[in-house]
Structure 1
Amino acid sequence: MDTTAMDTTASDLVIGADGLARPRWAATDPLLRDYYDTEWGMPVRDEAGLYERLSLEAFQAGLSWVTILRKRPAFRAAFAGFDPDRVAEFDDVDVERLMGDPSIIRNRRKVQAAITNARATVALRADGGLAELIWSHRPARTPAPRSAAEVPSSSAESTVLSKALRRRGFAFVGPVTMYALMEAVGIVDDHLIGSHRRGSSGVWPE
């Protein structure tokens, strides 16, 4: 652990040298700390932003999130800035190009899912769009975890969202992955009670 951080004795929060409380996963690695402080849990409501997060959450499955963050610039370059219209036009040549790119996660099923999901995103515009569908699954209340053990891995809403996306032709959108998406884009606020980020999104004010 970073020697500039000090564990609190009563929770899963860590007080940093800046005096701010963060969960352990965001307390030491500078990349994760910056992501936590500036991005995680902030509302994302635009189609391209949600498509990117949906894609990255799928690529993260089975891996650490910091691995995805380190590769995010390469992912953006490889996937045309996560522009759904451009990725929807990717073909088998693009799949092989991506499978030969060592700067991203070379998993064929995940690569193909990103292309499939781009096409599904474009098709969904005729019926309200990706943002409307995802945000329509915001729960009536958000969790209020006091410890990491109290943070859910899925929810009734993420399960329904998963089924709704699958019906629309999306892939790699299981309930756990969709709950991680909901956390990341502000649909739920899973910042621990006492974190400096709790209630900061404007979606779930304290």
Structure 2
Amino acid sequence: ELSTCGCSRARRPAELPRDWLWGGCGDNLEYGYRFSREFVDAREREQTVLKGSHEHLLQQMNIHNNEAGRRIVSDLADVQCKCHGVSGSCSMKTCWLQLADFRKVGDALKEKYDSAAAMKLNTRGKLVQMHSKFNPPTSHDLVYVEPSPDYCLKNQSTGSLGTVGRLCNKTSEGMDGCELMCCGRGYDQYKAQIVERCHCKFHWCCYVKCKRCTKIVDQFVCK
């Protein structure tokens, strides 16, 4: 039980209209930041590793990425407001600070993941960028010290199942598209028979009854 985790004490934003109330019980970002740093980083900070070793490199990477994650969550927090007044007139508003939803945070982290910087240890045991021609990562950026495995091919040591035999979307330009999913190997097209619910009707009271329809669709599978 987190007895010391009260409401947010964040200052009223300067851009908030004067007749709007700053209150409610906003998310306590400061407490959450401190608690997550103590809890999530504990394993890394309590672990004794040899300076300059591969374990030390991984430790420094994890500490950096943990901090980047916390900062991203804090940066995405935004002001939320609720209207008050007779018959929804919204003559008064109460506003508070609220964390972003998980989807928004996840999308931001995915963007950071896609642009993560390769790092190594210098002679003093500090993380430095492997390729100096790029801008150095900030405390809001993610870093890595080992390249990702080739997920296109099956690899038992990493648990990757590869993409051979995976269904793909011929019309998509995203990660589920055949061009990306099949890693340039091409794909096979075939007809498949699927059964789905159809002609659904609501019956009083209270259930929905559907028929089962069969149709033939085109499916695409990675070679």
Higher RCO by CA contacts (8 Å cutoff, separation 6 or greater) = 1
Settle same-fold status: TM greater than 0.5.
no
Q: Which structure dedicates a bigger proportion of its chain to helix? A: 1
Q: Which structure dedicates a bigger proportion of its chain to strand? A: 2
Higher alpha-carbon Rg: 2
